[in-house]
Chains A and B, each alone.
Chain A
């Protein structure tokens, strides 16, 4: 497949089952909601070393939030429910409870077709109130009011956890690092408008794509040498002579269709730049299809 001179490889991205939750964070203004959300989603690029993959999903208008203030929604993904609950509780305690003026609410409550489990959001944080905390049951939802030095920290008792998909991806193969980065930024800009997905790496882009295993026995993942441009003569490369830089965009989403949609709009945005942008090929990362149950075939994704 070729779009505007850019080759789309006949390959697929291999993705994994994950567990996900969403938290709605509001603040006195958007600045403070972002401070809290940025702290909460910091050091959350990959489950390999961070426990969770998390990012800000989008901004929320006042009429979209429970307390009528401006806010943002945060999506968090983990490989299992236990680690997701642990990470959520830790990050709520250190990043949200601590942030002035901020309140936090469930971001997943009822959704057609999704199996939802309730997990703690503020249920344990309430003990910070040292007996002065109070709960309010409003419209069948329980909230905790925890006295803090700037007033009261308001937090919903629980939020929903759903089954989700992590690790959807595509690779941008370009003639220079600058070209690859420009194309990545263009893709991320449109992909951020897709609901229910996050691109958890810095700026949504990752340069250190990995393969399974390593020559070192303690490493279970190592650099994806087949896509490293400086190793073209040393390894069984996947790169053509004119490719000097490869970047990857990784997508976590609540459903297969969410991830596929984000991949589609991202790739289309890059293709719209044309081959003159320096982008030569779009490919995808996989492990031969043996590890992840979800396969996003690039050609099929683009036809959707």
Chain B
């Protein structure tokens, strides 16, 4: 599989906005054009080539290697393709995402999937506060722990947690417990995970505790906590 690989050279001193580095954001660009993209919007913005070693070629698959928490907005407004993050990442992972798949094998920062409309985000590690805040639809899976106020103001969509959260700390009062169930759609969802290099690829158990919410925003979203 042809990939475009961004390998972080060293830990950046400042937070970096990686929102342009998506398959749809880079489509049609040449490799020199990709190298010269600015990673923030001011005059002293570092260019991609200043921060990353770049290999491969522009494709539907983007890989961030040696990634760390200074890389924010990865997958912002992503529409298609796949982004794989080898390491941790910063805040707003997959914010405003409209399609495609993001895989993170480390930890993610706050507001993962903020205002996400469509697509899939799977995080092997932990996620920060406000996971799936203002989520419109889509699917986010977190294997590790989650921070405060998961699903805050989410309208629709599914958050899949493989680790029992601290309910009082992690969920707002407007997330309502709907009981524990076997949900048939999980068989299809898990089947779609099988080909992915993620901890979610081995899931089989379809028994989940279902929380519906955010009831302040119609409550058509859900948090599914996988049961042992």
Contact = CB atoms under 8 A, between A and B. Distances in A.
Contacts of B189: 136, 138
A136 B191 contact: no
B222 interface: yes
Contacts, number: 43
A206 B118 CA distance: 51
A136 B184 contact: no
B158 A136 contact: yes
A135 B139 CA distance: 11
A66 B185 CA distance: 10
A131 B219 CA distance: 10
Task: Name A's interface SS.
Answer: strand
B15 to A, nearest CB: 32
B192 A139 contact: yes
Size category of the A interface is 10 to 19
Interface centre among B137, B187, B191, B220 (most CB of A within 10 A): B187
Given A134-B156, A136-B158, A137-B118, A66 B184 contact: no
Nearest to A136: B185
B188 A138 contact: yes
Interface string A126-144: 0000011011111100010
A103 B188 CA distance: 11
Contact of A66 (B118, B182, B188): B188
Contact of B185 (A69, A132, A139, A154): A154
B181 interface: yes
Interface string A150-161: 011010000000
A138 B119 CA distance: 9
Interface residues of B, number: 17
Nearest to B218: A131
A134 B183 contact: no
A145 interface: yes
Nearest to A66: B188
Nearest to B212: A132
Nearest to B139: A136
Contacts of B137: 135
Interface string B157-194: 01000000000000000000000011111011101100
A159 to B, nearest CB: 15
B187 A69 contact: yes
A143 B183 CA distance: 13
Given A134-B220, A138-B192, A151-B181, A67 B187 contact: yes
Contacts of A68: 187, 191
A66 B192 CA distance: 10
Interface in A146-191: 151-152, 154
A255 to B, nearest CB: 29
Interface centre among B156, B181, B184, B222 (most CB of A within 10 A): B184
Given A69-B187, A145-B185, 9 more contacts: A66-B187, A66-B191, A132-B220, A136-B188, A138-B185, A138-B192, A143-B185, A152-B184, A154-B185
9 contacts: A69-B187, A134-B156, A136-B139, A136-B158, A138-B192, A151-B181, A152-B185, A154-B185, A154-B188
Interface of B: 118, 137, 139, 156, 158, 181-185, 187-189, 191-192, 220, 222
